[in-house]
Amino acid sequence: MIIDTLENAARYQGLGAKFVKAFEYLQQTDFNAVAKGKYEIDGDRIFAIVNEYDTIEEAGEQMESHRKYIDVQFVAAGEERIGHDFLGDKSPSRAYSDTEDYMLFAEKPAFYTTLRQGQFAIFYPTDLHMPNLRVAGPVPVKKIVIKISVQ
């Protein structure tokens, strides 16, 4: 996993052309003018999901992981806490769904990060993550999740 600010995106060009496209999209898009929804960047290889929500309590939440896509989670407005951990030898509490590309894990996160406006986190398939959590109380968040195909 990688956690940084969008102003440092050039540091990650070495991750490949798909990451370059993803960061260009984040840097060139005015998300104040973009509604919730799914937006293609490069077909099903790279796409963005724009979402708006209020942060939630951790109780009852589980960490997730994906196999087909890497997540680039960018906070355009607000702030949220994200729990995360390494997949390692953990067993899922909800088996992997190929159609939905995720599985769930009941373990508590080993680490927490607060993402604020202008910051992003990259979660690879071996990175468990529990996003959308409250920092202090519920706050509105606008977050863009860019899905980058592993293949």
Q: What is the CATH number of the domain that holds 12?
A: 2.60.120.370
139 lies in which domain range? 2-149
* Domain total of the chain: 1
Displacement of CA 20 from its chain's centroid (Å):
16
Q: Please report, in tens digits, the pLDDT of each residue of the chain (151 residues total).
A: 999 999 999 999 999 999 999 999 999 999 999 999 999 999 999 999 999 999 999 999 999 999 999 999 999 999 999 999 999 999 999 999 999 999 999 999 999 999 999 999 999 999 999 999 999 999 999 999 999 999 9
Whole-model pTM?
0.96
User: E strand or H helix at 97, and its extent?
Assistant: strand 94-97
How buried is 13 (Cβ within 10 angstroms: 0-12 exposed, 13-18 middle, 19+ buried)? exposed
CB under 8 Å to 28, separation ≥6 — which residues? none
Question: Order of strands, edge to edge, in the sheet holding 140-149?
Answer: 2-5, 119-123, 69-77, 140-149, 46-54, 37-42
